[in-house]
Amino acid sequence: MPPCWEANVLNLEFNLKSIDLLKEALDSLDLSYTVRSEGIIQIRASYSSITLNLNKGMATMEERHAPLLNRIRRAYSEKAVEKVAKKKKWIMKKKSNKIQIKKY
């Protein structure tokens, strides 16, 4: 008899340099997360979670959460660009899903 419920689990590459920027990105998306043992972050998603292993650079999740992981990646990238822009005193403007930086 086939199972009545099945979950397809994905392991995707997820490399990043700063756990602090990741936390800012998760907060900006209003996502709940728990920092587990060193290098493990568990993000709560509907009826399951996404596990990020920062030491291995891997994300483990159900296939249906792949779009959420992409949103997390974009938010992380945005926070990284924002940090550099502030450090260099550049002006940053957001236009839909693009970021424009001007140096004056």
List, for residues 51-92, the tens digit of each pLDDT value.
998 888 888 888 888 888 899 999 998 899 899 888 888 888
Cβ–Cβ under 8 Å, residues 92 and 85: yes
In this prediction, residue 30 carries a pLDDT of 93
What are the boundaries of each domain within the chain? 9-102
Give the whole-angstrom CA distance, residue 95 versus residue 100. 7
HSE-CB for 9 with a 13 A CA cutoff = 9
- CB burial of residue 38 (10 Å; 0-12, 13-18, 19+): exposed
